Each structure stands twice: as structure tokens, then as C-alpha cells.
Amino acid sequence: MSDPSTNGSGPAETIPAEIRAKAEEIVGRYPVKRSALLPLLHLVQHAHGYVSDAGVRLCAELCDLTKAEVGAVATFYSMYKRAPMGEHLVSVCTNFACHVRGGTAVYRHLSDKLGVGHNGTTEDGQFTLEHAECLGNCEGAPVVTVDYLNYEGQTPASAADLVDRIAAGERPAPTRGFPPEGIRAVQHRLAALGPAPEGEGVVAEAGHASDQARATDGAVPVPESGPGLAPVTVEPTFSEGQEAERARAREAVREAGQDPHEVESGAGPQAREFPTTDPDWEPPEPGASAGGDADQEHEEGTS
Amino acid sequence: MTEPVSVLTQRYDVPDAHTLAGYERTGGYQSLALAFDQAPTDLVQQVKDAGLRGRGGAGFPTGVKWGFTPRGAGKPTYLVVNADEGEPGTFKDRELMERDPHQLLEGIVVACHALESERAFIYLRGEYLWPGIRLEHAIAEAYEAGYLGKDIKGSGINVDVTLHYAAGAYICGEETALLDSLEGRRGQPRLRPPFPAQAGVYGMPTQVNNVETIANVPHIVQHGVEWYRTMGTEKSPGPKLFCVSGEVNRPGNYEWPLGATAREIVEVSCQGMLDGRTLRFWTPGGSSTPLLTGDHADTPMDFDAIAEAGSLLGTAAMQMFSDRTSVVEAARNWTKFYEHESCGKCTPCREGTFWLSQIYDRLLEGRGRREDLDLLDEICDNIFGRSFCALGDGAVSPIKSSLAHFREEYEHLVEHGRLPEGIESHTDAVDHNSGHGRPEQLVGT
């Protein structure tokens, strides 16, 4: 098992104070600290674009683990990267339902176009490419995701065009959701912290497409404060064709006289305090139950 | 002739169903009052009587599973919703969470009352960003409106929900691996017993249920057992989301009663096979379930009938493939998937999938040998039933079943070094381990 701390090619990262504060907040969400490890690693990738040595140290400190234990977890999951990702992560599904509709051909074409292989990052730092296992969007095969936002029904040509447009600073809309805002901003969301504040976790370099896009497009909201449940103001964008097909395919259940289009929509809820700890919960005593025993064994196994 | 139903999907055409306003307007959260009037054990009995079977793949009766939860032990009980949808071909939970997240939350509240649990985790697949955003939004709205949190609608019942994004590991769909992952560990399955109902997350009593399973619960409470049993079969009652993909005209999630046939679903909902092609092979429940052939298209899609036909209903992920598609290519693709996703805990699965993958490369690159077919079979026998969890059994399903039904394609490959006439290759497979620096290994030379 190699330690991810030895893999980074980036500069020696540090943990900014605001990232540490968010990390502590994530730990407070769970009855047992270690449960916060997966979201914490997403937060580390938000800060540094990969599982950095400084990030591993932070996780170890906050979860009372050794660096080796954190490294063992980080290397198990495919979403944690051991080298800095580019600004956008492009994933192409090559599992069989996508494959028969051309998923692998799309992947090969993008790989040739970008000049990188699986988990490779382009020299200009704009894209990391990966081929992914079933992305759970087989009805839209073949599917490509950019920063985990899905573009359905791709061909080699359309996927190349998609990448070109993003490289040119455009923000093409995915089949559902909002235009990609950069993988680091998305990592903030995957830590269940909501949209990333502007500029946070972005390396201070000129020419980041997402920075330019943000400057001209106020659609990406900035959370007021606190843990993440900031309103999502971006409206859904299920494709028209998809909606129309569904409408034809199914009997609508709308009640008479209530046109959903007239219903006020949009106004999201106010940011609220997320329930952090379970007040009645007490840590299990070692050996108090069969599960406690199993837990002990685990600790020994991973130490 | 079975007809499609509209229970779980009843709001899929309501554009604002994902908002609290849209959900309440269309009858949402109405099961809560009915549920809170009942004793928790009565609710469990109701779910048992309804015959709801787990929708995550195993088909275990949910009410029976809930009945294993110890009560009054003075420990907290947890509900963990398994939203780690990763089975190839499955996309039902994704769409449900995107279009109707409150339906899941309503189910969570009812289930928590039945289990006397005050804390639920939604373990969501990390790649599911948009479903996650929809869920976060819904959770925030539900707290605001008092459907979650302390003293829900004056009932004295408390339920807190935590959304937990995972990080990309198929094995975490296995419930004990999921629990390890939720505890911040590598997602590797645990030895059972103890079962999660006794000692799950943090060693506490835990129920792990699939998204679709939980979403069924409010409907049972609201409309009753008798109504629920009007759909489906005696032993597999209720509605089911069928995820149809592959070579059909209109892939998608379609809701039918359990017991509908693949032919009905494909003809009526999907408007037939793509360009009028002929169905050759298909998975009834994702790539981990043994392949069926075109001759099985009239088998009722319920847990028992599909099992009788030699496969499993699994997640009801119907991937349909035509006579232009190579079953050996399909088996290689999925074998590489399992090779990549094997968690490494047990030897038969970790090593077996690795060797199987090499044999498939050889076969499809025209270097196959006659004895390779027996070798495939033998390796499968050494994985099936001998691995730590069901991933190993799933890994050999497409291989064993394709060898049984389509041996002639394998033999043609060995004999001629290429696919039979009329079957097109869909370009080379991608080698998942190319980035891992593992050297190619020669088998038996």
C-alpha cells in the first residue's frame, strides 16, 4: 500500500484556516469522528485537487488516526486521486450498456484528443480524463460526466466538442443540473458543504475558465454561512425531449385545476443549522457488544 | 396482460415535485399522521403483511428484516439508506432521488418510527452529485417545515437525517461494506453474524435498506396492505421500477407490477428493440445476475419466477442486447468491472477475477485455446460460493451463464480467432488496470 503523501507532484500545500474550520464542522456532524473521513477527504480534494500530504495529516489529526490509516482509506476509493486533478474531471462510462452504444469509442477519442490516458491530466492543467464504471445513467448511454454532471447520448464528435467548448470558457448545460463549475468546487459540495465560496480552493492562477465564468454569471450562489445547506438556486434542466417523451409515456397524476407551471417555484429554503450530534448517543464501550468486539478487531487490523 | 402502474413514479411528470410545495400539493407527507397513530411494532407488521421485499437486489422481506431490530435495549438504533447505486445497468434510485426526493424522506420518517430510530444516514454514491443536491435541498426544506428534526408535527417523534457522499466503490453497496465505509474505513464486507440488525454502524442496531424499498413504505401505510397486494404476485407483491437499457428504442425507468414480463415491458414501455433487432441475451437484474436469453422474454419478472429460470431479479436492471452483440465481449467488459471493483479482502475473488480477465483478453484477441473454456468454468467454480461476499458470486454470473447459453460463440472465437458473422465488435475493451502498473501475466505458458 503506497502512501498517497508520496505521490503529490504539486507544491507543498498548507491547510488554510477556513478549510480547517470546515473540517472541524464536518467531524461534528457524526456520532463518531472517524465517520467524517470520507467527507473530509472530499474537502481535502476541494482544497488541493488531490489527496495531499497536508490533507492526510489534517484528517489523521481530526479523526484520531495515523497517516497510514488515512492513506489506506484514501487509496481504496476511486474518487480520491493521488495526483492533482486538472480544472475539470471528465469521466466516460465504458461499462457495457454504454459500451454497446459507443462509450468506449468516446473514451478512446477523448483520450487521443487530450493526449492522456486513464487518470491522466492534460499539460495545460485543464482536464483530467478517466474511464468510469457504470455511472447509473444507462438510459442516456453513452454518458460522459464533467465534474460529475451528466451529458447523455454522446458521440466521439459531440464529446470532443463539449471539451472544446469548456476549454474555451463556455459553460454548456448538462442533461440535468448546472454547468460544470470545476472539480474543486464540486468537491466542496461532495463534502456536503453546499456550493463553494468564490475563489476558495482554487489555485491563484490567471485564466481559469470557471473563474471567468463566475465573474460573468451570478448563477452559482455563495452560501451565507455555516454547514452547507445553502439554497440551491439553479433550476433543473431535464432536456425538453426527455420531458416530452415521459409526458407521452405516462399518465400524469396532476390534480385537476392545479397547473404545476403556475405554482411558485424556486425560492429555496433558508440556510439552516444542520443537526450535528446526537445528544442521546454515547460511544459504545469496547466489548459491550458483539459489534464492539468487531470494532476492536478492525482497529487492530488497520493499525 | 399486465399494465404499467404509477406509484413510486406518480410525481415524475410533476415539474416541481422535488420541492416541498410540489410534493405537498400532490399528496405528500400524508402517511406521517397515519404512521404516528400506530405503534412501531404494528407498522413493522403492516410492512410484513404487505409482503414488501427489499429492492436492492436480495429480495429479502423488509418487514421480517425490520423485525430483527432489538427493542428497548437502551441503545440507539440507526437507519442507513443504501443509495450507493452501482450495479451496472441500474439507475432507478438516481432518478427517484432527482425527481422525488421527498418521497424518500417521507419513507425515512415512517421507517424511523417503525424502528424507533432517531437518526438516519443516507449513504449516497459519490458520483451522484445532482441527486445529492436535490436531496440536500429537500432535507433542508423538510427541516424547515418540521417534517424532520425534533418533535415532528407535534408527535414527539424525532428524526435527524445526515446525507453522506461516498467516494466511488461498488463494493460499498454490500450492506456490511457500506457500514464499514460509513464508519470511515475501507469498504470491505464484514463477517456475519453479527448481522447489522444486532450490531451495525458503531456496533449499534442498524437497518440498511435500499432507496426504493424505503420509498414503498409510505404508500403501504397510506393505502393499506390490501391495495398494495393488488399489484404483483402472491410472493412478490407491489410495484417495481425496471431500469431498461441497452439496445431498446426507449431506455428508461418504467414502473410495472412485479410479475410483468420482459417482453411486455420492452414492447409497451420501450417500444421494442432498437431498429427492430432480435433480443439475444439480457440481464434481469444487473450484470451480477446470470444472463437470460431471448427465449426467457416471457418469464414473469418477480423474485421467484426469475429464480426458477436460473437467474435473479437483483435490482431489475434489464440490459437488453441483440443478436449483433457479442456475449463474450459483454462478459469481458463485466469481468473487468469486477476485477476493478473486487475489494481485495478474499483471495478467490481478488485473484480469480484477475485471471478471468486475462483469459477473456486472449479469447477476444484471437489467442484463445480450446482448454480456456474449461479453465474459465473451473475458475468460476473456485470463486462461486467460496468468496467472502456476493461480489464474487456476481462476478461469475455472466461467465457461467454465457458459457451455458452461448458456448458456440466461445468455440467460434477459439476456432477462428474472431467473432462469428453478423456480430460486430464495439471497439476494444478498456483495460482498467493499465494505470496500476500491473504487468501482463501469461497464463499457463
CB contact under 8 A, A136 and B127: yes
For B62-107, write each residue's pLDDT tens digit.
999 999 999 988 999 999 999 999 999 999 999 999 999 999 999 9
At A206, the pLDDT band (50, 70, 90 cuts) reads very low
Which pLDDT does position A288 carry in this prediction? 42
CA Rg value for chain A: 21
* Chosen from B97, B103, B133, B204 to mutate, greatest number of chain A CBs within 10 A: B133
CA-based nearest residue to B8, from B195, B154, B210: B210
Is the four-CA dihedral B39, B43, B49, B54 of positive or negative sign?
negative
Quickly list DSSP for B274-337: GGGPPEEEEESSSTTS--EEGGGTTSB-SHHHHHHTTS--TT-EEEEEETTB-HHHHHHHHHHH
Chain A touched by B1 (CB under 8 Å):
no
Q: For residue A263, with 0-12 CB atoms within 10 Å meaning exposed, 13-18 middle and 19 or more buried, which class applies?
A: middle
User: Are the C-beta atoms of residues B210 and B90 closer than 8 Å to each other?
Assistant: no
Radius of gyration of chain B (CA): 22
User: What is B156-196 written as a DSSP string?
Assistant: S--BEEEEEE--S-GGGGSHHHHHHHHTTS---PPPSSSPT
**Which helix (DSSP H) or strand (DSSP E) does residue B115 occupy?**
helix B101-115
- Please choose, from the candidates B444, B135, B405, B423, the residue with its C-alpha nearest in 3D space to the C-alpha of residue B294: B405
pLDDT > 70: what percent of chain A? Answer: 62
- Taking the C-alpha atoms of residue B111 and residue B10, their distance in angstroms, rounded to an integer, is 21
Asked if residue A12 has pLDDT above 80, the reply is no
Nearest neighbour of B202 by CB, restricted to A31, A228, A272: A31
Tell me the C-alpha distance between B329 and B363, whole Å. 10
Query: CA of B191, closest CA in chain A: separation in Å?
Result: 9
CB count within 10 Å of CB B75 equals 18
Q: What is the pLDDT of residue B427?
A: 60
Residue A294's pLDDT is what? 38
pLDDT for residue A245: 52
Is A241's pLDDT higher than 80?
no
Q: Which of A111, A128, A134 to mutate to test the interface with B (most CBs of B within 10 A)?
A: A134
Confidence of residue A192 (pLDDT cuts 50, 70, 90): very high
pLDDT of residue B280: 97
Q: Quick check: A247 and B13 CB within 8 A?
A: yes
Element at A58 (helix H, strand E): helix A53-63
Mean pLDDT, residues A24-41 taken together? 97
Residues of chain B with pLDDT under 50: 429-445
Closest CA to A164 of A126, A128, A202: A126
C-alpha cell at B314: 437483483
Using an 8 Å CB-CB cutoff, list chain A residues near B129: 147-149, 177, 186, 189-190
Mean pLDDT, residues A135-153 = 95
Mean pLDDT of A203-226: 35
Lowest mean pLDDT among A15-19, A111-115, A187-191, A222-226: A222-226
Question: A177 in the Ramachandran plot: left (φ > 0), alpha (ψ -120 to 50) or beta?
Answer: left
The predicted pLDDT at position A63 comes to: 97
Cβ of residue B268 closer than 8 Å to a chain A Cβ: no
Cell of B95: 432518478
Decide if A294 and B426 are in contact by the 8 Å CB cutoff.
Answer: no
- B436 CB burial (10 A radius; 0-12, 13-18, 19+): exposed
- How far apart CA B327 and CA B422 sit, in angstroms, is 13
ipTM above 0.90, yes or no: yes
Q: What is the pLDDT of residue B220?
A: 98
Q: What is the pLDDT of residue A200?
A: 77
Predicted local distance difference test score (pLDDT) of residue B7: 97
Query: Residues B371-405: pLDDT tens digits?
Result: 999 999 999 999 999 999 999 999 999 999 999 99
Q: Locate the chain A residue with the closest alpha carbon to B341.
A: A133
Q: How far is CA B62 from CA B45, B49, B214, B286, in A?
A: 10, 10, 9, 21
The residue among B380 and A202 whose pLDDT is bigger is B380
Mean pLDDT of chain A: 74
CA-to-CA distance for A151 and A129, rounded, in angstroms? Answer: 15
pLDDT digit string, tens, across residues A80-121: 999 999 999 999 999 999 999 999 999 999 999 999 999 999
Q: Is the pLDDT of residue A254 over 80?
A: no
Q: Are the Cβ atoms of A136 and B166 closer than 8 angstroms? A: no
Question: In which region does residue A218 sit, left (phi positive, over 0), alpha (psi from -120 to 50) or beta (all else)?
Answer: alpha
Helix %, strand %, coil % of chain A (to 5): 40, 5, 55
Measured CA to CA, the distance from residue B114 to residue B50 in angstroms comes to 15
Q: What is the pLDDT of residue A199?
A: 73
Question: For chain A, which domains are there?
Answer: 4-76 (no CATH), 88-215 (3.40.30.10), 240-302 (no CATH)
Residues of A with Cβ-Cβ distance to B325 under 8 angstroms: 100
- Name which of A1, A42, A76 to mutate to probe chain B: the one with the most chain B Cβ atoms within 10 A of its Cβ: A76
Query: Which stretch of A170-174, A231-235, A279-283 has the lowest confidence by average pLDDT?
Result: A231-235
In this structure, are residues A229 and B140 in contact, taking their beta carbons and an 8 Å threshold? yes
SS3 state at B242:
strand
High-pLDDT (> 90) share of chain A, %: 61
Question: Which residues in chain A have their CB less than 8 angstroms from residue B167's CB?
Answer: 38, 41-42, 77-80
A263 versus B330: which is more confidently predicted? Answer: B330
Alpha-carbon gap, residue B285 to B319, rounded angstroms: 8
Contact between A142 and A103 (Cβ < 8 Å): yes
Three-state SS at A176: coil
Report whether pLDDT(A271) > 50. Answer: no
Q: DSSP letter at B428?
A: P
pLDDT in tens, B417-428: 999 998 988 765
How far apart are the CA of A20 and the nearest CA of chain B, in angstroms? 18
What is the pLDDT averaged over residues A247-257?
41
What's residue A214's pLDDT?
A: 35
Q: How many Å lie between the alpha carbon of A71 and the closest alpha carbon of chain B?
A: 10
